[in-house]
Amino acid sequence: MKHYRKELWFNVPTRRAFINITSQVEECLRESGIKEGLLLCNAMHITASVFINDDESGLHHDYEKWLEHLAPHEPVSQYLHNRTGEDNGDAHLKRQVMGREVVVAITDGKLDFGTWERIFYGEFDGRRKKRVLVKIIGE
């Protein structure tokens, strides 16, 4: 069995963003040479997420609105976590809802997606460098 590992780095200039990283993940798959197996893609930071969904701007707006309703950033005093000097208590909760990682089957050298599925990096406390791990195993 072969294996492959690569870190993708992001530095989002805003507090929150959704970035389609499908092409970067597909490039990792090409580099790996693996034709059949599994691909794990996960955020290596506790205020960021990796998830699969449609690349549609209305949906991304809905996510932003929904997540801000569930865990509003302000007032920052509402989160006990922020008493440590942080202001990102909401980002931890948003990450919990959106998830840490995705696993995608690899078939015939391609990500085995449904019709509209794409991989996204979700940033909830940006303005600093963060990484995503891509780990691929198979033949």
Give the integer Cα–Cα distance in Å for 64 and 82. 21
Q: Where are the alpha helices (DSSP H) in the chain?
A: 22-32, 57-70, 89-98
Instruction: Return the bridge partners of 105, or none.
Output: 38
Q: What does DSSP assign to residue 114?
A: -
| CATH no. of 2-138 | 2.60.120.460
Confidence of residue 137 (pLDDT cuts 50, 70, 90): very high
Tens-digit pLDDT profile for residues 21-75: 999 999 999 999 999 999 999 999 999 999 999 999 999 999 999 999 999 999 9
The number of CA neighbours under 13 Å toward the Cβ of 5 is 2
Give the integer Cα–Cα distance in Å for 55 and 52. 9
Start-to-end C-alpha separation, the chain: 5
Average pLDDT over residues 84-97: 97
Tens-digit pLDDT profile for residues 109-128: 999 999 999 999 999 999 99
Look at the pTM and tell me if it is higher than 0.85: yes
Please give the pLDDT value at position 27.
98
